[in-house]
Amino acid sequence: MKDEKQDVIQHDHNHDGIDRRGFLKCMVWAGTGAFCVMKGGVLRSYSLSRLSEVPSGSGGELNFVQISDSHMGFNKPANPDVAATLKAAIDKINALPTKPEFILHTGDISHLSKPEEFDTVQQLLTSASTKDVFYVPGEHDVLGDDGQQFRDRFGKGSRGAGWYSFDKSGVHFIGLVNVMNLKAGGLGSLGTEQLEWMEKDVKHLSKSTPIVVFAHIPLWSVYPDWGWGTDDSAQALSYLKKFGSVTVLNGHIHQTMQKVEGNVTFHTAASTAFPQPKPGSAPSPGPMKVPAEQLRSLLGVTDVNYLSGKHALAVVDSTLE
Amino acid sequence: MKRIFAIVSGVVLSIIALVAVDARLSASSTAAASSATEIKIDNFSFTPPTITIKAGTEVRWTNRDDIPHTVVADDKSFKSKALDTDEQFSFTFAKPGTYNYFCSIHPKMTAKIVVQ
């Protein structure tokens, strides 16, 4: 699908800088990716093919990029060269008009938790325009050792299974782990210890602090039949009710989706490795095989801009084409 | 000289013994392989999802998906490593009972073995 349209939507009924109707309109584009910039309560969304027309001044106070699901080591027909598509993602990052301050990797760095898979991703990311990468693990990164290797490599200063928080330009970031100790028949899980930590972590923050939560498995029920949700995410989100702006960034489902619920904007990023089917559209969520010439249109990176005082983050998806 | 011969023949004998043990081992594992009950992991599910077997039966799981899966008992009494495409895991159920198991990577995948 090639959308050429550009929407300018002006609805800010709650006077909180969040244009809910605008975000909902953005959701219609889910799957093809959209570039959304929030400025002065006006949401602008651009189709990917017009990314070059985005004004360079739209950068804001903070720019960062989310990548996800590199699955290094995967070599099946859905994408026999996941290193090449990760490289393409890095090229995309390096071509952004505004250099991002850091990269968030929302998990499934590796396919089988093998040291050489982690090595390759770390090596490739050294060519990115920013050297700061914050990781949370996917279920593929904690195989066989309950995430010990992941924490040894990426979890310095983290707690428990690898969760942590940090502040950048007035935005509070919380990296959560919801891929450990999964119960039979269940979904992703945060667990009591992590929830208690999170409650304390946000308690002292003023309600005007923008919050970004990032974790591998979606913290909203995308499609529980395929395990695309987190059992105790409602508890985690209840700690964030007082905040005016909450953005939740996830991976795992290998496609972009957005949803707005009250003060919270949910967003999932595309994979850099292989696409997965839309919820319920296939017998299982296994890798989707598409013609080689279409593959890169279904993979991607997410660019996020934060404009101070506007209470919202603009979330941008672009494909690897 | 006699002593050296004794040592040499001793070594030769132990090699023969080792080969014999080896042959027996491979013979028994082949026999077990043909009698094992097969469970296929395909499209993020265990097929068949429920099987009933006699105590002492070996069950063998084969992952036919492009994505790794595990075979883990709810009570952790058996647990495979992550099985990549076409990799297998076997377990012999000695005692009667109902064994619920799941994929610890994709916990929506659940199944059960009934041992009589």
Per-residue pLDDT tens digits for A134-159: 999 999 999 999 999 999 999 999 99
In this complex, the residue of B44, B81, B82 whose CB is nearest that of residue A286 is B44
Second CATH level (architecture) for the domain A65-303+314-319: 4-Layer Sandwich (3.60)
Mutate to test the interface with A, among B46, B100, B108 (most CBs of A within 10 A): B108
Residue B39 corresponds to which tokens in the numbers above? 């469970």
Mean pLDDT over all residues of chain A? 82
Cα(A285)–Cα(A251) distance, integer angstroms: 14
In this complex, the residue of A139, A143, A185 whose CB is nearest that of residue B108 is A185
Residue A17 is predicted with a pLDDT of 42
Instruction: Burial-class residue B112 by CB neighbours within 10 Å (0-12, 13-18, 19+).
Output: middle
Give how far the C-alpha of residue A305 lies from the chain's centroid of Cα atoms, to the nearest Å: 13
Crossing angle, helix A115-125 and helix A82-94, to 10 degrees?
30
In eight-state DSSP terms, residue A49 is G
Q: Which residues contact B12 (CB under 8 A, 6 or more apart)?
A: none
In this complex, the residue of A74, A183, A286 whose CB is nearest that of residue B107 is A183
pLDDT in tens, A226-253: 999 999 999 999 999 999 888 899 999 9
pLDDT in tens, A26-73: 333 322 333 444 333 223 333 333 445 455 555 567 888 999 999 999
Cα(A44)–Cα(A8) distance, integer angstroms: 5
Upstream peptide bond of B48 is cis (omega within 30 degrees of 0):
yes
What is the rounded end-to-end Cα distance, in angstroms, of chain A? Answer: 13
Closest CA to A180 of A213, A145, A153, A154: A145
CB contacts, 8 Å: A185 with chain B = 102, 107-108, 110
User: Which pLDDT band holds residue A260 (cuts at 50, 70, 90)?
Assistant: confident
Q: Which residue of B has its CA nearest to A284?
A: B43
CB contacts, 8 Å: B45 with chain A = 284
Residue A59 is predicted with a pLDDT of 53
Closest CA to A62 of A38, A85, A29: A38
Whether residues A286 and B82 touch (CB distance < 8 A) is answered with no
CB contacts, 8 Å: A144 with chain B = 81-82
Closest CA to A140 of A28, A287, A298, A264: A287
Q: Which residues contact A247 (CB under 8 A, 6 or more apart)?
A: A210, A211, A212, A213, A264, A265, A267, A304, A313, A315
pLDDT at A14 over 50: no
Domain ranges (residues) in chain A: 65-303+314-319
Asked if this assembly's ipTM is beyond 0.95, the reply is no
Q: Which residue of A has its CA nearest to B75?
A: A184
Buried-state track A270-289, b at ≥16 Cβ within 10 A, e below 16? bbbbbbbbebeeeebbbbbe
The backbone torsions φ and ψ at residue A120, rounded to the nearest 5 degrees and listed phi first, read -60, -45
pLDDT in tens, B32-80: 445 789 999 999 999 999 999 999 999 999 999 999 999 999 999 999 9
Q: Are A282 and A288 in contact (CB under 8 A)?
A: yes
From B28's Cα to the closest Cα of chain A, the distance in A is 29
Whether residues A287 and B66 touch (CB distance < 8 A) is answered with yes
Buried-state track A223-243, b at ≥16 Cβ within 10 A, e below 16? beebbbbbbbbeebbebbeeb
User: Which pLDDT band holds residue A312 (cuts at 50, 70, 90)?
Assistant: low
B36-115 in CATH: which number? Answer: 2.60.40.420
In this complex, the residue of A144, A184, A285 whose CB is nearest that of residue B107 is A184
Residue A291 corresponds to which tokens in the numbers above? 């013609």
Share of chain A above pLDDT 70, in %: 79
Cα(A272)–Cα(A301) distance, integer angstroms: 7
User: Is the pLDDT higher at A254 or at A25?
Assistant: A254
Give how far the C-alpha of residue A256 lies from the chain's centroid of Cα atoms, to the nearest Å: 9
Cα(A319)–Cα(A138) distance, integer angstroms: 21
CB-facing half-sphere around the CA of A310: CA atoms within 13 A? 20
- Using a CB–CB cut-off of 8 Å, the residues of A that contact B are 74, 76-78, 111-113, 139-140, 143-144, 182-187, 224-227, 283-287
Residue A41 is predicted with a pLDDT of 28
- At residue A206, the 3 state secondary structure works out as coil
Cα(B80)–Cα(B89) distance, integer angstroms: 6
Mutate to test the interface with A, among B65, B76, B105 (most CBs of A within 10 A): B105
In this structure, are strands B72-73 and B97-102 parallel, antiparallel, or unpaired?
Answer: antiparallel
Cα(A293)–Cα(A79) distance, integer angstroms: 11
pTM of the model: 0.81
